[in-house]
Structure 1
């Protein structure tokens, strides 16, 4: 009898002593594998781990050129800080094995509707699984069946990128056709629907189209433009036919912040979300990550802050003296989303009135994250402790789909002002910002966004200006949602990781009011001088390098530079867009080919 490799979880569920002999044994006092997969409940229970295992439950802590922690990641440092691992590093296939196990047995269920539903769900998550693999490794082996222990496909080389992408499209199109079309069900938006499948299709087709365009990849099969068109079509269908709208209570100074801090996912905008709750003891760490010193002291970079326009739609980086503006001035009159993402003057917690200043004890740059920070009264007052946040996290939301649509159309060269008005400008309206005018953007591309010091040097053509502005809007709207690293790689913009990591600007020693309440809350003093008395709630730092000091980029003045001692060899253009295949995997299967630049 042929033996199959089954997920360990199923072996435990069915009471088998080992996976290897699972199909040879039928214990009389246990549920046998042959008796499983026969009801809709069986299929639901077996597929539930798709959500928990594959969806990112901490998108808010992705290290990138906009968001840094005290210790920089290997990706941020580059060079020999990135190495070939022995194992792991994303080269894992257990989730795919679970998917293919269900697909191999789903027809045992006599409930035809359940068979169709869970086939569609499994194929959606197979497309999701492979999207993560393609983003990370490029070419990977495609498996759409269970493998026996002696199956020769266990030892095959990677399949072509085009074969994998084409199979992903087949899977997602099946899911779009057959997944439930619902929004108002009790379990929405925590279960996949056809709309989630459309969002995924728009996402991975945009990734592939832009990756091929900017990396100059031409393969037999679909072109870069064909993938971009698929992305635009999927996004447009969801925008025009889906039951979603942008969340708004017509309070642009609050709506963005409140949506991400809410206990329950907003059913208007969230297409798919991850549920967290105090009652079920399912938590994440977003609030503590921003408030507790032991959680990495994350902060946004000055480059991230510079992305935000002035509230009248003009560019902050066109203002005279923007480079040396102090905190209060640089934060004044900006896109309202800035004060709902970064702790700005006048900031107070949701549900409280006490004004809080930026806290360098929990933030290395001074630009403290506040997005996802919950009301301290939520979840029985426990959200400020480590791993106790309960705000539901988005997987797909309408604003991202709108941005994907606008970008795909802009890259195709078919974008119109009407396209912007049904996408980017609706997002801006929610934020209280003026519309993006396509003709004006293209007539005067932003120097900052196209400069080698701060932006993207490889955007060209008639739509250069509007592409840069859509990227700006994407950066602002999706800040801290886990997209930046993959965006940089698909745009072939790894050089962004070589740009400066800077925090707030300080002109020298002195007393500073960072909270905007007219009172001193930070004192900086010169090295060698006496430490001044700070008083209650006042942070006091000696300017200089070393533990407990405030390092500035130019001696006694400049940008906060807590990363001065972390060597950054830099992004390797010939290597770092893809991750290496772990060495143990190549030892087990010599037919696997290591990615370029990583050696043998």
Structure 2
């Protein structure tokens, strides 16, 4: 698949409108759709839409960049023209619709055809989920259009209708895709049966909790599907947690030997055998485009399974690196700490550079010294892990029943806690220590999936953005003897103040949905702007 994607990378450089229109010297569209290899090659293009590394966590309270973010602090305006947030999903949807319409021309067996149609329908659902998350209701397009198509001027479809179409597409994918085991090493990276099940669980959890906490539609329907879909992945026995949390995000964690990764954006295995490269570590971590906050740091439990406010193991540190003592080991794998390998010009990390790392913290996930040197990393981006499936199962079970059993906790979050080397979560433990099970399940999701682009969407669906995003952005404890001279604002208790609450706002009447691009509304008068924008 990597060889196929490498060839297709030549097409990726073209504008989206050009990708759908091959040069006249190439094979014509009418003569292309004749064999399995043709369909597979067309489907390979869909994989180029899997998202690469980004800094989306700065939209949330988990991270802060070199400057304030307009999504996070509530200062953004409706965009004048459509960008990647709106156009890219529709480009993917068009490409998927193109496959669905033309692949049946090929001389292949029904089973082979359905397998590739299943891939296309998976990617169509993937595209619509990105649109629904941001905009809620959007036009539902299920065929390729030309400039005269009346669908170009249709109103947005109801959100529930779009979600039901996603479920239908994913159910077809689940029924017709091969297992990840049968894909084996040759087709590693292609979408599998459990990938479709796991993604359906993600969609259903998002919709179920959004419906529940925003008092909209039928939450039970979606939460029931989330439990069933995540449980189907668990029962398949196709996946398992990877042993080492830090290595999970390194080259060591790549390939079929890592049964935790369910969907990945592949880059390659070395600088000489690669599909593409990225500079996420050097550009986004070292240069300060995304840095963890105190809010995220404080979410990590102590070894006894208790939060900082309740654990006897926690004492105020007298140096910044002591915040890592007796903590969930995933914190040390996610945050840079004294003694970690860093980069050629500074081989061992000691303290964050406040010029770049505004919070006084620095992320460690995906950190690799060789990548700093080459600026051409081939570390894959995990897009859906088995750990997320376990978290979906736990959260959906709780939200469906307003309770979760110890057995359900043992088969989900406690497996993750065991890897983090912290005490188990049980109903008795929560009651004894005055813990809220919902909050502990949410905490587990936050720390397990930190720096992977989930936090913003979680606080949106839980309807807590209006509470969390208006808080001040804080960083590490500040000790003058450690940090190099830098202009820094501090709270009265000696914590780095990155952005005061007075500069942050969130309007719950409009900010839970994104604004549609103004030019799209001008092009289609039937398309209504989201409330408040």
Q: Under a length normalisation based on structure 1, what TM-score does the superposition of the two structures give? A: 0.79
The 2-side partners of 1:438 and 1:584 are apart by: 52
Match of 2:265 in 1: 274
Match of 2:156 in 1: 158
Give the secondary structure class of the aligned counterpart of 1:572. Answer: coil
Give the secondary structure class of the aligned counterpart of 1:115. Answer: helix
The 1-side partners of 2:413 and 2:211 are apart by: 24
Change (3 A) 1:491 1:445: farther
The 2-side partners of 1:445 and 1:97 are apart by: 51
Structure 1 gaps, min length 5: 1-5, 17-28, 249-254, 447-464, 513-521, 523-539, 542-547
Q: Does 1:549 align with 2:506?
A: no
Match of 2:381 in 1: 393
Aligned pairs (5 A) from 1:393-432: 393-413=381-401, 415-432=404-421
Aligned pairs (5 A) from 1:342-357: 342-348=335-341, 355-357=348-350
- 1:392 offset after TM fit, Å? 1.4
- 1:209 offset after TM fit, Å? 0.1
Match of 2:446 in 1: 475
Change (3 A) 1:89 1:42: closer
8 Å contact kept, 1:60–1:481: no
Aligned pairs (5 A) from 1:517-556: 522=483, 540-541=484-485, 548-554=486-492
- 1:187 offset after TM fit, Å? 3.9
Change (3 A) 1:115 1:384: same
Deviations 1:154-198 (A, max 9, x none): 101001111111111110000000011133612454110011101
Match of 2:207 in 1: 208
Q: Does 1:132 align with 2:130?
A: yes
Q: 1:436 aligns with which of 402, 425, 429?
A: 425
Q: 2:305 aligns with which of 308, 313, 336?
A: 313
The 1-side partners of 2:115 and 2:92 are apart by: 19
Change (3 A) 1:174 1:314: same
Structure 2 gaps, min length 5: 1-15
Stretch of structure 1 that moved more, 283-292 or 426-435: 283-292
Match of 1:336 in 2: 329
Match of 2:18 in 1: 8
Match of 1:41 in 2: 37
8 Å contact kept, 1:366–1:504: yes
Match of 1:528 in 2: none
Q: Under a length normalisation based on structure 2, what TM-score does the superposition of the two structures give? A: 0.89
Stretch of structure 1 that moved more, 260-269 or 496-505: 260-269
8 Å contact kept, 1:291–1:362: no
Match of 1:515 in 2: none
Q: 1:98 aligns with which of 95, 98, 122?
A: 95
Aligned pairs (5 A) from 1:452-463: none
Q: Does 1:578 align with 2:516?
A: no
- 1:437 offset after TM fit, Å? 0.9
Match of 2:81 in 1: 86
Deviations 1:462-506 (A, max 9, x none): xxx111101100011000011111111111111211112111123
Give the secondary structure class of the aligned counterpart of 2:341. Answer: coil
Change (3 A) 1:354 1:583: closer
Change (3 A) 1:236 1:188: farther
Match of 1:224 in 2: 219
- 1:59 offset after TM fit, Å? 4.6
- 1:589 offset after TM fit, Å? 0.6
Change (3 A) 1:240 1:281: closer
Deviations 1:84-137 (A, max 9, x none): 433225222221111111111111011123311110000011111111110010
Change (3 A) 1:199 1:259: same
Match of 2:12 in 1: none
The 2-side partners of 1:570 and 1:76 are apart by: 8
Q: CA RMSD in A?
A: 2.5
